[in-house]
Amino acid sequence: MPADFLAFGPHPDDAEIGAGGLLRKMKSLGHTTGIIDMTSGDMGWGSPEIRAAESERAAKFLQLDVRENLDLGDCRVEDTFENRCAAAAAIRRHRPQIVLAPYYHLPIGRGLGHNDHYKSGQIVANAYNLAHLRKAPIPGEPYQARGIFFYFLPPGTSPTFVVDVSEFFDDWMAALDCHESQFAHPDRPRPQELPPVREVFETFARYWGWQIGVRYAQAFLATSPLKIGDPMLLVRDVVPRP
């Protein structure tokens, strides 16, 4: 099924964290949307079956048209030709206008720099190109999406654009709340002085919202120049601050 916006997430819940608000907003504007999970998250809290059920519930809050899992192996994702072909096949299958993926230039380690995060970004960035090559050993007709944008930006990286998702914040957070095995697991050690995970997501959304004068927002990066015919479109919704 076509998905105008197709977000790739390293694990179930990552695409929701990085692009859930955007996906819900795009659905409200009449676009089709989808998430491709790269792994089942089998190394995380909860079983693959539990995480699949959580993902299905989250998809309903975001009103996704597509959700699939490539099952490339949690903590074992590698930027191989085979994995590029798997991601490229998903692009050919759903023929998105815009592809979303985690940014690949991340500090290696826990959190944003998880192996699967930056390598998923590498795979999808390469698959974005591979999908249009007629001779590539990939099922489906060659297809070139119009753009690829990245989420999970490391500290100090300026986004190319920030999207107001204030109207859809509640649905976005409801989708995240579906992933109870990750964010509310009773056996997960978490120092009491740290805020709840949901509060962290809200803080980032408020931060990016403040940057553009709204309540909640999500940030994205383009690594190639964006073609603009009328620069006035860039400031159409800007309200001058007093």
pLDDT in tens, 195-239: 778 889 999 999 999 999 999 999 999 999 999 999 999 888 877
Which amino acid is it at 186? Answer: P
What's the distance, CA 165 to chain centroid?
A: 14
pLDDT of 126 over the 90 cut = yes
| In a domain? residue 112 | yes
Domain assignment present for 241:
no
Residue 194 lies in a domain: yes
Instruction: Round to whole Å and give the CA distance between 56 and 44.
Output: 17
- In-domain check, residue 36: yes
> Does the pLDDT value for residue 60 go beyond 70?
yes
Q: What are phi and psi of 107, to 5 degrees?
A: -65, 125
Residue with tokens 């690949």: 104
Q: Is the dihedral of CA 143, 149, 151, 155 positive or negative?
A: positive
At 235, phi and psi to the nearest 5? -120, 10
CATH of the domain at 206: 3.40.50.10320
Range of the domain at 213: 5-235
Helix spans in the chain (H): 14-28, 48-62, 81-94, 115-130, 169-177, 180-183, 197-212
pLDDT of residue 195: 75
Q: Radius of gyration of the chain from Cα atoms? A: 17
Domain assignment present for residue 240? The answer is no
pLDDT of residue 109: 76
Position 220 in a domain: yes
Is 193 a member of any domain? Answer: yes
What is the Cα–Cα distance from 165 to 151, expressed in whole angstroms? Answer: 15
Give the mean pLDDT of 158-162. Answer: 97
